[in-house]
Amino acid sequence: MTIHYAYEDILKAAKRIDWTVEEIIGRGQQLDFTRPFMPESLARTEGLGFMNEQEKLIFNQIRGHSYLYIFMLVEEIILPFVEEHANREGIQNPIETEAFMQFAAEESKHIELFAKFREKFQADFGTEIEVIGPVEQIAKAIMANHPLAVAITTLHIEWMTQGHYVDSVKNNVELCPQYESLLRHHWMEEAQHAKLDSNMVLALGEGLSQDELKLVLEDYFKIGGILDDGLQIQAKFDREAFERVTGRILTPEECAIYQDVQSQAFRWTYLGSGMTHPNFLKTLEALAPFMRETVESISHNFC
């Protein structure tokens, strides 16, 4: 199976989209704290039966905050990686370089968008929410792995973003309109990124032996482990923020339920939903069928 997305088409599509951070989050738009930010399929507040409806809403918004913070964090790691790929030696087609540079410029814009959102959220929500980092430390641990494993992780993240929007945010009238708009505008540009990632993965995988690809897959799982460690800490920070803002300290029994439900909710949001995305699996299969089969054989643990 071969997959290749034409750079000319990707670039044309990217250039048709034209929004600025100021249009999306400036100019007096307000976050609506009477509504959820995250779709329930990702937030999974229903499993937190010890919370009342108002508490579930507050927790959903805390999850909405960490969701975009984690996007910002991974995009800060993706940006220099993509820039390096755009400037690598041996590129024959200048349109390819331009498409990857456009990708990098958009990622830089998204980082600014998410930072502005965070500022606005913190100001209106009134309680500080701790976040994982620093990004340099996480980036260093991820970059110690094979470049193809980093590219596969990027592909995973960008199809995952697509899946979230299309499956549960698009046309979801219950969500805060400002938050939905932010995800919609982000999604428009990410649609091109996921295709570029697929091309990048197949280019980096060219000529690698089965044994090398096995090591690459191990590294992809190692990166998944690094992300999972961070996500579990973020789940704890989100619980602490909930306790601070509501003044309700969870009992040990409630903490155990929280741990069960939310560690899996975080895993599904950032790991399982990427590992099961059909287009992610299609590219893995094009690289080597055993890679797809291996990922599919363990993805249920993250769902």
Q: How far is the CB of 157 from Fe ion (least distance, A)?
A: 8
Q: How far is the CB of 186 from Fe ion (least distance, A)?
A: 6
> By C-beta, is 56 or 195 nearer to Fe ion?
195
Q: For residues 43 and 288, what is the distance between their CA atoms, to the nearest angstrom?
A: 34
Q: What residues contact 2, with CB distance under 8 A and at least 6 apart?
A: 202, 286
Show contacts with Fe ion in window 107-146 (CB under 5 A): 110
> By C-beta, is 115 or 215 nearer to Fe ion?
115
Q: How far is the CB of 258 from Fe ion (least distance, A)?
A: 29
Q: How far is the CB of 152 from Fe ion (least distance, A)?
A: 15
> By C-beta, is 132 or 194 nearer to Fe ion?
194
Is residue 239 within the footprint of Fe ion (CB under 5 A)?
no
> By C-beta, is 82 or 175 nearer to Fe ion?
82
Amino acid 235 reads: A
Contact string (CB under 5 A) for Fe ion, positions 91-110, x = contact: -------------------x
> By C-beta, is 82 or 217 nearer to Fe ion?
82
Q: For residues 217 and 171, what is the distance between their CA atoms, to the nearest angstrom?
A: 36
Residue ranges of alpha helices (H) inside the chain are 7-16, 21-25, 40-43, 53-86, 94-125, 135-143, 147-164, 177-205, 210-246, 252-267, 273-275, 278-287, 289-298
Q: Is 249 exposed, middle or buried (0-12, 13-18, 19+ CB in 10 A)?
A: exposed
Contact string (CB under 5 A) for Fe ion, positions 63-82, x = contact: ------------x-------
Q: How far is the CB of 175 from Fe ion (least distance, A)?
A: 19
Show contacts with Fe ion in window 181-220 (CB under 5 A): 190, 193
Q: For residues 194 and 118, what is the distance between their CA atoms, to the nearest angstrom?
A: 25
Closest CA to 217 of 146, 302, 136: 146
> By C-beta, is 180 or 190 nearer to Fe ion?
190
> By C-beta, is 188 or 208 nearer to Fe ion?
188
Q: How far is the CB of 170 from Fe ion (least distance, A)?
A: 17
67, 269 contact by CB (below 8 A) = yes
Q: How far is the CB of 10 from Fe ion (least distance, A)?
A: 12
Q: For residues 165 and 41, what is the distance between their CA atoms, to the nearest angstrom?
A: 11
Task: For helices 94-125 and 177-205, give the axis angle rounded to 10 degrees.
Answer: 150
Which positions touch Fe ion (CB under 5 A)?
A: 75, 110, 190, 193
